[in-house]
């Protein structure tokens, strides 16, 4: 396998950290970005190969150029594998979703990936090879109550993936999304805490409620999401797809 220059966003924990470890285990050089420099340093220290830590707030309009440029300068070539994992969620009834909630979801979950993709894609096309994988959500494919802003941002992310994939088809570059359900990550832990506070259930009961929403009866492991990301990285024939990793919740 040819070693590639990779960039993983939201790489300090959860799915992003799992993907970074898997890419490094396959011999790739992995750059890590997120706001949390300490978490990134801890992940990088455990990687077996070349690692680069580039802390950034990806909602800053100049962050995409700064982060991708740092990788190019450090490793002497374009980003070849871009994993767009950074994201966040919020929950509120639609009528109580504020402009700030709406803007925050779009900025981090949709606009930041767009800017990174726009910055990295030309180098991939010029080189005749590239892989982009966005971590979306089952919320990209269905609507659930109380998550309108999050759902809109993830639907938009999947649309971005599909359009970009069509645009670069035939260039050697693929663009895909993976769509996890409830994954055993800090983001889900925050959801558990919100449910517990709102309903009076214990955290264990709230966690079990989420697990039962998936036909497999448990939360998805971050490494299981990383499996799907690595599938997209390894295949030249998969593009424009939103691959569900949700224990059978959404059948498509």
Cα 58 to Cα 135: distance, rounded to the nearest angstrom: 15
Q: Which of the residues 11, 150, 182, 206 is marked catalytic?
A: 150
Nearest to 79 by CA among 38, 25, 26, 133: 133
Beta-carbon contacts of residue 229 (< 8 Å; ≥ 6 apart): 19, 22, 83, 133, 135, 178
The alpha carbon of residue 7 and the mean position of all alpha carbons in its chain are separated, in whole angstroms, by: 11
Helical H runs in the chain?
14-25, 37-45, 63-75, 99-106, 112-127, 148-168, 186-199, 203-212, 222-234
- Tokens 């002497």 sit on residue: 76
Q: Is 146 part of the annotated catalytic residue set? A: no
CA angle 54, 128, 153 (to 5 degrees): 50
b/e burial code for range 30-40 (CB count within 10 A of at least 16 → b): bbbbbeeeebb
Cα 101 to Cα 89: distance, rounded to the nearest angstrom: 9
User: Do the Cβ atoms of 154 and 218 come closer than 8 Å?
Assistant: no
Q: Are strands 242-245 and 81-84 parallel, antiparallel or unpaired?
A: unpaired
| Residues forming the active site | 150
């Amino acid at each position: 396998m040819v070693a590639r220059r990779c960039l993983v966003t939201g790489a300090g924990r959860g799915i992003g950290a799992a993907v970074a470890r898997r890419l490094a285990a396959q011999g790739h050089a992995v750059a890590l970005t997120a706001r949390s420099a300490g978490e990134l340093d801890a992940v990088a220290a455990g990687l077996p190969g070349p690692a680069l830590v580039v802390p950034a707030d990806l909602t800053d309009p100049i962050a995409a150029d700064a982060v991708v440029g740092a990788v190019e300068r450090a490793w002497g070539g374009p980003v070849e594998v871009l994993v767009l994992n950074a994201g966040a969620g919020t929950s509120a009834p639609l009528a109580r979703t504020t402009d700030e909630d709406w803007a925050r979801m779009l900025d981090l979950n949709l606009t930041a990936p767009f800017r990174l993709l726009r910055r990295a894609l030309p180098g991939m096309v010029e080189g005749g090879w590239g892989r982009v994988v966005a971590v979306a959500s089952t919320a990209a494919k269905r609507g659930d109550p109380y998550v309108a802003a999050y759902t809109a941002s993830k639907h938009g992310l999947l649309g971005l993936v599909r359009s970009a994939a069509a645009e670069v088809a035939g260039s050697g570059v693929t663009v895909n999304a993976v769509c996890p359900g409830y994954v055993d990550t800090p983001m889900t832990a925050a959801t558990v805490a919100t449910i517990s506070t709102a309903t009076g259930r214990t955290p264990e009961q709230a966690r079990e409620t989420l697990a039962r929403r998936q036909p497999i009866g448990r939360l998805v492991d971050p490494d299981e999401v990383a499996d799907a990301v690595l599938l997209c990285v390894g295949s030249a024939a998969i593009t424009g797809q939103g691959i569900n990793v949700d224990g059978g919740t959404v059948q498509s």
